[in-house]
Structure formats: structure tokens, C-alpha cells
Chains A and B, each alone.
Chain A
Amino acid sequence: NAGVMQNPRHLVRRRGQEARLRCSPMKGHSHVYWYRQLPEEGLKFMVYLQKENIIDESGMPKERFSAEFPKEGPSILRIQQVVRGDSAAYFCASTQGATGELFFGEGSRLTVL
């Protein structure tokens, strides 16, 4: 499968724990985007990364959330000290260049108890 791969597909955490979501972009893609989809709401942009660089994090909450895209390995979205309001589907998308069609993964669904 050469598509965008996200894992885990489902993650359950208790309040205060950490959540780590991983995204491997499509082969040949070096630009990664993270979006969050809350129930009954549209997808909201969180962060745009290239290898080893955060290009635009204007949609990221200022606290508890961080993202990285290392030279080797997948992009990671990290949520520290999760709260119930963090329960959502988190989607990763990749593009080959700075613009162009976004290819989305199937999402990681986080449930905070």
C-alpha cells in the first residue's frame, strides 16, 4: 500500500496521559499536514511540516500539542496530558511539493476517558 499510513487507527487514553500519533507519507512525498476532525465539525488545519522543519503551526493549540517530521521515520503528532476535549479523529495528509493534491490517511481516532 503506497498510500498515507497512519497508526494507531484507534487510541484510548485516560485524562493526563500522552498520545502519540504517527504518519508515514506517500512514497516520494516530503510535505506532511495534520488536521483534526471533531464530531459534527469540519477538518481543521493544525500544522504543516517538511522534513526536519515546521513550516506552519498556526492551527496548533499553544500548549500540550507538538509535531515533528524527522529526517528518518514518520511524522509524529504528540499530545501531552490529554483532556476529554482532545477526543477527535486526527488526519494526516501528504503532498509531493508545497502545493498540489493532498492525499489523506485513514485517520487516528483518539478517545480520552
Chain B
Amino acid sequence: QKEVEQDPGPLSVPEGAIVSLNCTYSNSAFQYFMWYRQYSRKGPELLMYTYSSGNKEDGRFTAQVDKSSKYISLFIRDSQPSDSATYLCAMQRTGANNLFFGTGTRLTVIP
């Protein structure tokens, strides 16, 4: 079993839709949870960073962490064509240096 599971998609939605992206994990030691956006042929860029359980909102993006279920989500409101990219979840243990990434979900927002 992979430590981090993410549905690779692809996911296509019309412009303006609410997008829900999810990851599950198996290691209860993960304390830091991140979402990265990666455009084609580019490096990942950090979108959201959360510690432990709870919600965090930043503009059209909301990250949720449910440690009891080992489940994290990223919601994108009012999706735009410019949101078309691959979204990667990532997790980190306290005191560890490396991140564990999901495989990424490829999202296309259709104008």
C-alpha cells in the first residue's frame, strides 16, 4: 500500500464549477499537509500548507484535513481555465526532511 493515495483523474469541469480534490494516507505520523500545483513541464508550486486537522482558506482555495479519517481535501471555488494543472498532495512527519507526494490529479477547466 502506498503511503499517500491520490486519484490521478483526469478531471474535467466547466468554468465556474466547484472542484474537489482528495488524498488518503496510511501513516498517522504525518502532521503537515500541503497542496502543490504543477503546470505542464513546470515545477510544483505550493498552494496551501496546513498543520494537523482543520480547515484553511485562501481566496478561492480551501484545504481540509481530517486526521481521524486520514483524508485531506482541496476545494477550488469558481474554477477558472487558468486552474487547469496537475494538483499534488504532499505530507510530512514532524522532524522529517522529506515530503511524501501523491501521484497528482490532472484537472482541466473548460471555458
Give residues in A with beta carbon < 8 Å to B.
Answer: 4, 33, 35, 40-45, 48, 55-56, 58-59, 91, 93, 98-99, 101-107
**A–B pairs, 26, beta carbons within 8 Å:** A33-B97, A35-B101, A40-B8, A40-B103, A41-B103, A42-B6, A42-B88, A42-B101, A42-B102, A42-B104, A43-B44, A43-B88, A43-B90, A43-B101, A44-B101, A45-B100, A48-B97, A48-B98, A91-B44, A101-B49, A102-B46, A104-B43, A106-B41, A106-B42, A107-B42, A107-B43
With both chains docked as a complex, state the minimum distance between the C-beta of B30 and any C-beta of chain A, in angstroms. 14
With both chains docked as a complex, state the minimum distance between the C-beta of B83 and any C-beta of chain A, in angstroms. 19
| Contacts A41-B103, A107-B41 supplied; 5 other A-B pairs, CB < 8 Å | A42-B101, A101-B46, A103-B46, A104-B45, A105-B43
How many B residues touch A, CB cutoff 8 Å? 20
Determine whether B99 belongs to the interface, using a CB cutoff of 8 Å to chain A: yes
Main secondary structure of the interface of B (DSSP, over half): loop
B101 proximity list for chain A (CB < 8 A)? 35, 42-44
A44 proximity list for chain B (CB < 8 A)? 101
Determine whether B13 belongs to the interface, using a CB cutoff of 8 Å to chain A: no
